Structures are given as C-alpha cells and as structure tokens.
Amino acid sequence: MKIIENIKELVTAIKRWQSNRKTIGFVPTMGALHEGHLSLIKAARKECERVVVSIFVNPMQFGPEEDFSQYPRDLKKDKRLLKLEKTNLLFIPKTEEIYPEDFNTKVIVDEKLTNTLCGINRPEHFAGVSTMVTKLLILVRPQVVYFGQKDYQQVLVIRRIIKDLNLGCKLEMLPTSRETDGLAKSSRNTYLSSEERQAAANIYKALKLAESMLQVGERNPKEVIEAVRKTLRVESSIEIEYIATKNAETLEDLNVLAGKVLVALAVKLGKARLIDNIIVEVPSGSV
C-alpha cells in the first residue's frame, strides 16, 4: 500500500494509473475505520482495478461547537485494516495541504438539499463536505466513489455535485453497516458510555417501527414521526434533534407518505450526535 501525504505525489500516482487505463475506486473517509468503511473498500476492491482511500478529518465540515478536536483518530489501526483490504493507495493529507492559508473557494448545493435535516443545525456542514469531496474527486478522478447510506443526505449532495460539475464518476451507495442490535456503525459510537450504548439500540428500533407502519399502510407522516418519537423517548438519555419523513430523491416534505420515502433522524446521546435513516418503497395506491 502506497501512502501519500501531498497532492503533487497523488496527482503523479493517479496520472500513471490513468495512462495505463486502470479503473479507480475511491473511498473518502475521516478515518477511525469501522466495518461500514470496510464494506465500501471491499466493494471498490471487487469492482475496480485500483483502490484509493483518503483519511482526512475535514475541519471545514465541523461547526465551531462540534467535535473536530475530539473526533477519534487511530491511524495505526486504520493502516493495518487498509492493508488487509488490499488498498492500493492511502492519501492522508495534512490540513494545510488541503486548505492552504489563502484558500477561499466553496462548492455549495442549493438549500433544498442542504438546508434541511442535518443542514438545519449544521449550517456550514454540507459546504464543507462538498468543497472537500469535490477537491478529492478532481484529484483522484475515480470511476466509482463509494459512500454509506448512513450519511444519506451527504450522498444526495455529492451525487448532485458529480452531475452538475461533470465530475464523470459514478456514486455507489452501500447499505448502512449495523451492530447486532441494529445500531448503525459510526466512528462516533466510541463516545458512548455503556448505558448510552444500550439506549442507542432504540434508534434503529424506532426506524424499524416506522418501516412496519409504512408496510401496513400508514400514510400520515405525523403518525409515523410521533411513533418514532415515542420509541426514542423510552430512553430519557436520548435527546431528539429531528425526526423527518421526506421524499428520498428530493428531500421535499410529503403530505402523504408514498413513493420512495426517507425516514431520517438525528439525536444527541451523551457526547455523541448520532444519525440514522431508512428508505422505504411505499406503493402509491392504497394498501
């Protein structure tokens, strides 16, 4: 596995692969790798001739009150895992390599996709994500870039940018990896105390309840949201940031739950802010 820290060397490595017509699969991460990341890397390994992984805890996507400095970092373990997955290239830039002092550009997506769900409480988050990912996609020029469904809003934003800026790669979204009790794998789960970790199982339970309600014919968003809320409230340590049902393609609100429905939520649990979602195909007619 080649480890590269600066952009110039990265460009040289990518150019060499491109002139040899190697297909490139790319998995951008913030490190502290878990099974969710590894499932993306395995998919890239299977589908592409070269696998590039980046590890960069992107300061631009954290708010001033957020956990940038506490975000878990374990580069030694990450490297070991990446070697096991036969990653060809690991890009681990320093902050000043990505954002030199005079850096002054932003890639932004219209607020229909970004000023809702996580964007409401994290106003600069998606500008940070999309600027960073655009830079990486321009540098790595992959055929396929991989993201997990857990960050579903991020997937929509980046899909939008890839199309709008003609970045010429395919975005492949893979299912959220979960613990045996359903909790979505996340680097931030390490923030949880053992009590909080137990309480966290209610998040997926609540989403599964929403799914069941949709499957048996509930079409009223308020009923679904209220049921999710009640399930979460069983655990007093869970503080709800939002629970929402949306058109999964456009993130528009739905008066009647039909079509491809996203049920998404964010909660605070101790020091962790956790997000999760499910997508349910709801037939448009009656049950």
Enumerate binding residues for a second copy (CB under 8 A): 7, 11, 18-19, 21, 100, 103-110, 112-113, 130, 134-135, 138-139, 160-161, 163-168
Q: How far is Cα 73 from Cα 46, in angstroms, rounded to an integer?
A: 27
> Rounded to the nearest whole angstrom, what is the least distance from the CB of residue 38 to a second copy in the complex?
28
Which letter does DSSP use for residue 162 in this model?
H
Catalytic residue among 13, 25, 34, 37: 37
Nearer to a second copy, 41 or 248 (CB): 248
- CB-nearer residue toward a second copy: 14 or 53: 14
Q: Is 125 a catalytic residue?
A: no
Minimum CB–partner distance for residue 132 and a second copy (Å) = 11
Q: What are the residues whose beta carbons fall under 8 Å from the beta carbon of 137, sequence distance 6 or more?
A: 26, 145, 162, 167, 169
Nearer to a second copy, 61 or 231 (CB): 61
Q: What is the DSSP string of 78-102?
A: HHHHHHHTT-SEEE---HHHHS-TT
The letter for the amino acid at 114 is T
Please report the DSSP string for 194-234 in residue order. HHHHHHTHHHHHHHHHHHHHHHTT---HHHHHHHHHHHHHT
Q: Which residue, 168 or 175, has its beta carbon nearer to a second copy?
A: 168
Taking the complex as a whole, the smallest distance from the CB of residue 87 to a second copy amounts, in Å, to: 21
Q: b/e per residue, 131-163, with b = 16+ CB within 10 A? A: bbbbbbbebbbbbbbbbbbbbbbbbbbbbbbbe
Query: Is residue 279 within 8 Å of residue 175, measured between CB atoms?
Result: no
Which is closer to a second copy, CB of 64 or CB of 100?
A: 100
Provide, rounded to whole angstroms, the least separation between the CB of residue 249 and a second copy: 10
**Minimum gap (Å) between residue 213 Cβ and a second copy:** 31
User: 10 Å Cβ neighbour count for 5?
Assistant: 12
Specify the 3-state DSSP secondary structure of 190: helix
Active site residues: 37
